[in-house]
Structure 1
Amino acid sequence: MTSRDNVNGQSTSNRPHYYPPDHRSSSASLKGCCCCLFLLFSFLALLVLAIVLVIFLAVRPKKPQFDLEQVGVQYVGINPNPPSSSTATSASVSLNIRMLFTTVNDNKIGIKYDESRFTVMYKGIPLGRGIVPGFYQPAHSVRQVETTIAVDRVNLLQADATDLIRDATVNDRVELRVLGEVGAKIRILGLTSPGVEVSVDCQIVISPRKQSLTDKQCGFDGLSV
């Protein structure tokens, strides 16, 4: 037996052979798995989107109706400053207005309303704000929600104060404007659609002597109601 055939008493043909790991095959397998997962998630996302789209087209959702139904004047107080002056340089306004809104959902699915804010204005000057908390309205239902706008001694300067005092004491007719944005979302299979904005714009006239509402004209999404 020669030295080439025997090293330390062992045949070279019986030795185990070691091969370095193939990094290229491992990397290719990892990329293949990632690609399969990406395709799977993409398919599931498209499938869910298609189902929601089919349901959305089947129910054909309509815009919610949000209307100012009643306005109750609980208190009106207008005081010139200074009180003894015939031509007031300013006026202090205090009032409480209770507003009752009616919401109508003619859809086959429910509507989720966000918190809504309403502002009472006199000749473009904000006097006070009211808040209607968010709520959920089921399908084919009518609901009433209310808010109270409290104006506590808001001061108006000369020209506006003079006009307001004349309207209140001489004409017994104070014109106010109520503005608000109502955010609504449609819920389908637990999923919420993008928000839909509903605008409320009301011109109201109150009588300080009678502490009551005398006229109301509202706009709903730019349409007269």
Structure 2
Amino acid sequence: MPNQPPAPAASSGSLKDWCRLLFVLLSFLALLPLIGVLSIILVGPLKPKFDLQSGEVQYLNIAADNITGTAAASITLTIRLVFIADNPNKMEMKYGESRFAVLYNDIPLGNGSIPGFFQGGHSAKQVVATIFVDGMRLLQDDATGLINSSLNDQVYFQVLVDVNATTRVKNLYSPGVRVSVECDIMIRPREQTLTSKPCEDV
């Protein structure tokens, strides 16, 4: 009686191929989160956004000074500004020291800073900065403009924000990104109030 022919090996080989393919697919899916983390670390994070939410004038004094015969004016100012920092990344962000400066007609008057801080992924955080101007003296056209603006109860300033940030995953840090924005503010000396416009990247 003739022997039965062996079962074809094709089905066994096909099953092994499917198992290998399934293993590769599952391995790739397991590595996807790691690939995403590495891409953020190597390429760099998205820039966080800073915008001015509100401001408060704590002290303001603008005085004319024509003793030398040249138009001059001095300004002493303390303002408290509340910014919103928005982290668009999934990962936690680490910020370095944030620096703030106030200018009049592009002339630096004073500055302030806050220490570094951490911010969770996809979150918004209030950042409060106090900026001081201590008896800054302006001359000629700038002094005249400042005095006239004060008399008209509308003095315009620029606020510059400079921040360095990086994302953190456990003990791994991405390349840093720099955030620089400019915010226009207007102060009414009589009422000691402050209004602002949306900040813009610079």
- Give the TM-score category using the shorter length: 0.7 to 0.9
> Partner residue of 1:105?
87
Report which stretch shifted further, 100-109 or 197-206: 100-109
The answer on 1:122 being equivalent to 2:107 is no
For structure 1, the residue ranges without an aligned partner over 5 or more in a row are 1-50
The CA distance in 1 between the partners of 2:140 and 2:103, in whole Å, is: 17
Is the alpha carbon distance of 1:210 and 1:58 closer, same or farther for their aligned partners in structure 2, counting shifts above 3 Å?
closer
* 1:162 match: 144
Cα–Cα, structure 1 residues 189 and 77, in superposed 2: closer, same or farther, change >3 Å?
A: same
Is 1:189 aligned to 2:170, yes or no?
yes
Q: 2:193 aligns with which of 205, 209, 212?
A: 212
How far 1:131 moved relative to its partner?
A: 0.3
Per-residue Cα deviation, 1:46-98 (whole angstroms, up to 9, x for no partner): xxxxx965423489953222222112111211011148x9x862111011111
1:142 match: 124
Instruction: Pick closer, same or farther for the CA change 1:143–1:172 going to 2, 3 Å.
Output: same
CA distance in 2, matches of 1:111, 1:217: 23
Q: Provide the rounded CA distance (Å) in 2 between the counterparts of 1:151 and 1:52.
A: 48
Question: Cα offset for 1:174?
Answer: 0.5
CA distance in 1, matches of 2:40, 2:188: 49
Q: Structure 2: any 5+ residue segments left out of the alignment?
A: 1-32
Contact 1:98/1:149 (8 A) holds in 2: yes
Q: Counterpart of 2:78 in structure 1: which amino acid?
A: N
Matched, 1:199 2:199: no
**Cα distance in 1, alignment partners of residues 40 and 102 from structure 2:** 40
| Conserved 8 A contact 2:51-2:198 | no
8 Å CA contact retained: 1:175, 1:206: yes
Shift of 1:203: 1.1
Matched, 1:55 2:45: no
Larger radius of gyration: 1
Query: Residue 112 of structure 1 contacts residue 136 of structure 1 at CA under 8 Å; is this kept in 2?
Result: yes
Deviations 1:121-144 (A, max 9, x none): 001111000102110112233211
Q: Please state if 1:70 is matched with 2:54.
A: yes
Relative to structure 1, the CA distance from residue 103 to residue 215 in structure 2 (aligned partners, 3 Å threshold; closer, same or farther) is closer
Helix, strand or coil at the partner of 1:62: coil
Moved more, 58-67 or 200-209: 58-67
Q: Which residue of 2 aligns with 1:92?
A: 74
Matched, 1:177 2:161: no
- By how many angstroms is 1:107 displaced? 2.5
Aligned-residue RMSD, C-alpha: 2.6
In 2 relative to 1, CA 172–196 (structure 1 residues): closer, same or farther, beyond 3 Å?
Answer: same
